[in-house]
């Protein structure tokens, strides 16, 4: 698998998982929490759409922008997981961020 495809896949899956969690949150939340979940949903949908663009365009620059965005999102999600003291919500996003970072490094080295 090429570094471009691997990085694009990891970034897109990461964005899709984030979108899924935000959709689930907005379906179960009420009041102000639902409003916040809807905002998260809007941003997650935008990141997912952006993550599809590299597959259509082949743009390394676009892919790097999306990948770095998802690395930041997942790293911050890990911080949230640590804050709520949930190992799954800490190590899942942290692992995804590190995997995406490794893919970005491989992509940069290959270009």
Which residues contact residue 36 at a Cβ distance below 8 angstroms, ignoring those fewer than 6 apart? 29
CA angle 45, 74, 39 (to 5 degrees): 35
Please state the pTM of the whole predicted model: 0.93
Alpha-carbon gap, residue 7 to 102, rounded angstroms: 9
The per-residue pLDDT of the chain, averaged, comes to 96
pLDDT at 1: 74
**Residue boundaries of the structural domains of the chain:** 3-106
Q: Does 104 score more than 90 pLDDT?
A: yes
Alpha-carbon gap, residue 94 to 88, rounded angstroms: 10
Residue 18, number of CB atoms within 10 A of its CB: 24
pLDDT at 80: 96
pLDDT at 111: 87
Give 30-73 pLDDT, tens digit per residue: 999 999 999 999 999 999 999 999 999 999 999 999 999 999 99
């Amino acid at each position: 698998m090429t570094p471009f495809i691997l990085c694009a896949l990891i970034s897109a899956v990461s964005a899709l998982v984030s979108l899924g969690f935000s959709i689930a949150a907005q379906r179960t939340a009420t009041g102000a929490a639902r409003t916040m979940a809807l905002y998260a949903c809007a941003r997650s949908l935008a990141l997912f759409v952006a993550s599809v663009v590299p597959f259509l365009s082949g743009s390394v620059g676009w892919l790097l922008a999306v990948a770095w965005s998802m690395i930041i999102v997942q790293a911050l999600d890990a911080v949230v997981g640590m804050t709520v003291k949930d190992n799954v919500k800490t190590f899942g996003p942290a692992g995804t961020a590190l995997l995406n970072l490794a893919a970005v490094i491989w992509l940069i080295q290959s270009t």
